Amino acid sequence: MRVGELSRRSGVSVATIKYYLREGLLPAGERTGPNQAAYDDGHLRRLRMIRALIDVGGLSVVATRDVLAAVDDPDLPLFQALGRASGTTTTAPDAAEEQDEAWNEGERMLAEQVDERGWQVSAENPAWATAVGVLATYVRLGDADLARQLGLYMRTMEEVARHEVAAVVDRGDRARTVEGVVVGTVLGDTLLAAVRRLAQQHCSLRLLGETPPDPEG
Amino acid sequence: MRVGELSRRSGVSVATIKYYLREGLLPAGERTGPNQAAYDDGHLRRLRMIRALIDVGGLSVVATRDVLAAVDDPDLPLFQALGRASGTTTTAPDAAEEQDEAWNEGERMLAEQVDERGWQVSAENPAWATAVGVLATYVRLGDADLARQLGLYMRTMEEVARHEVAAVVDRGDRARTVEGVVVGTVLGDTLLAAVRRLAQQHCSLRLLGETPPDPEG
């Protein structure tokens, strides 16, 4: 199909499609003339995935390109590839600025829990620094009591991850598995956060006796 | 203290402090002269919270202002206030565009699970539309199998929320509770997502036999 049809079928403007082509998010079409290229269903599918990662997953264009590069690299182990996605969804801490006493305390908290649960994870995983960054911020703000949820987060996320990994592996071929990992991990963050808000509403109603907002109000 | 000292002690530039004052994120100082104002420890604390929400929580300046307005409104029920934060961390779906068959299927999935778990939540909660948006995207991408994790997400997040609500209520006075809700909810999203990545690494090592990256590599 021509770029006009790709735009119509995906709902993405021609200008935006050309931007994604320039930035390397979308592979080039097959050249059919000096100013013309043909696109296939693979392009349409990729375009829908790009929009999902940006619009629903909240990734930046740069983060999306990094995630897709991981998808396209057949040599990269699946869940290591995801490290790239997690590292780019949050601002990476500035090493020089952040390595203070609070940072060390945050890292000690995480290392202790990782050790206790017997997790085999690498401090090279960008998610490690992200987690330490949050714990250090709790300490700096005088909210260290919030870090007490870390063990609970780890226990529940281990159960979630075990099911998630098993489910995408069940898909069979690598391309479909990688796609499941990327979409499920990035969009799953958004879904988990939303479900957590709904759970908080439900639990605060029970604990604090707060009433649900009046839909007519 | 003068604005210069506030800047030194918070690590935030004077220009940025003035921007936050103009945008209403930071309350005005006490006027002490025609071009001079005095700031106190409350300003310093608020400034640290602003930076945490933006740098670590990944909120935009506008979202941060909305969250802080909720903090400052003593009439707003605690966890309803958080709806504002969740609604602004992800792109709100365009109602006209999104109400298609996939949207309806996503909403049916969520409503069924909410009903099954007996959750008292309101479809007016912005997190409702966010959750439906993710489920609808799974359907549109042909990844509806990923939605099978919804029940697991709800069960684990109910446990997380129950502990979180109880812990912040334990803080006693409303101001400290609200602060705990805001910091713990926004930064907790980042922490949960990071812990989920680490758990995925751990579980994929066990399930797929992937080896951890070589720190020397």
pLDDT band at B180 (very low <50, low <70, confident <90, very high): confident
Task: Give me the residues of A, 46-85, that contact B with CB < 8 A.
Answer: 48-49, 52, 55-56, 58, 77-80, 82-83
pLDDT band at A110 (very low <50, low <70, confident <90, very high): very high
Q: Give the pTM.
A: 0.84
What's residue A34's pLDDT? 87
Q: Which residue has the higher pLDDT, B17 or A122?
A: B17
Structure tokens at A155: 């226990």
- The label of the residue with tokens 């993405």 reads A12
DSSP B93-130: P-HHHH-SHHHHHHHHHHHHHHHHHT----TTSHHHHH
Q: Which residue has the higher pLDDT, A91 or A101?
A: A101
Closest residue of chain B to A179, computed from CA coordinates = B143
Structure tokens at A117: 């649960």
Question: Is the Cβ pair A159, B166 closer than 8 Å?
Answer: no
Domains and CATH numbers, chain A: 1-56 (1.10.1660.10), 90-153 (no CATH)
DSSP 3-state of B31: strand
What's residue A89's pLDDT? 47
Question: Is the Cβ pair B83, A156 closer than 8 Å?
Answer: no
Mean pLDDT of B110-138: 92
Sign of the CA dihedral with A87 first, then A53, A78, and A154 last = positive
What backbone phi and psi angles, to 5 degrees, belong to B34? -60, -35
CB contact at 8 A, A17 and A48 = no
What's residue A183's pLDDT? 86
What's residue B26's pLDDT? 94
Mean pLDDT of A34-59: 90
**Residue A178 CA from chain centroid, whole number:** 13
Closest residue of chain A to B47, computed from CA coordinates = A141
Q: End-to-end alpha-carbon separation of chain A, Å?
A: 50
Question: How close does chain A come to B30, measured CA to CA in Å?
Answer: 24
Angle between helices B3-10 and B14-23 (to 10 degrees): 110
- Neighbour-count burial of A159, counting CB atoms closer than 10 A to its CB (0-12 exposed, 13-18 middle, 19+ buried): middle
What percentage of chain A reaches a pLDDT higher than 70? 85
What's residue B89's pLDDT? 47
- DSSP conformational letter for B144: G
Q: Which of B77, B126, B197 sits opposite A125 (nearest CB)?
A: B197
CB contact at 8 A, B193 and B153 = no
Q: Which residue has the higher pLDDT, A213 or B13?
A: B13
Which chain A residues contact residue B194 at CB under 8 A? 86, 90, 127-128, 130-131, 134
What's residue A27's pLDDT? 93
pLDDT band at A203 (very low <50, low <70, confident <90, very high): confident
For chain A, give the mean pLDDT: 84
pLDDT band at A170 (very low <50, low <70, confident <90, very high): confident
pLDDT at A75 over 90: no
Q: Which of the residue ranges B42-56, B107-121, B199-213 would you say has the lowest mean pLDDT?
A: B199-213
pLDDT at B72 over 90: no
Rounded to 5 degrees, what angle do the CA atoms A79, A168, A68 make? 50
For chain B, give the mean pLDDT: 84
- For residue range B127-145, list pLDDT tens digits in order: 899 999 999 999 998 899 9
ipTM score: 0.85
pLDDT at B93 over 60: no
Residue B103 contacts A where some CB pair is shorter than 8 Å: no
DSSP A111-176: HHHHHHHT----TTSHHHHHHHHHHHHHHHTT-GGGGGGHHHHHHHHHHHHHHHHHHHHTT-SHHH
What percentage of chain B reaches a pLDDT higher than 90? 46
**How far is it, in rounded angstroms, from Cα A21 to Cα A27?**
6
- For residue range A119-145, list pLDDT tens digits in order: 998 888 888 999 999 999 999 988 899
CB contact at 8 A, B191 and A153 = yes
Q: How many contacts, defined by CB atoms under 8 Å, are there between A and B?
A: 341
Strands B30-33 and A30-33: unpaired
pLDDT at B96 over 50: no
Q: Which residue has the higher pLDDT, B171 or A127?
A: A127
Residue B90 contacts A where some CB pair is shorter than 8 Å: yes
Residues forming a β-bridge with A36 = A33
CB contact at 8 A, B152 and A158 = no
Residues forming a β-bridge with A38 = A30
pLDDT at A4 over 60: yes
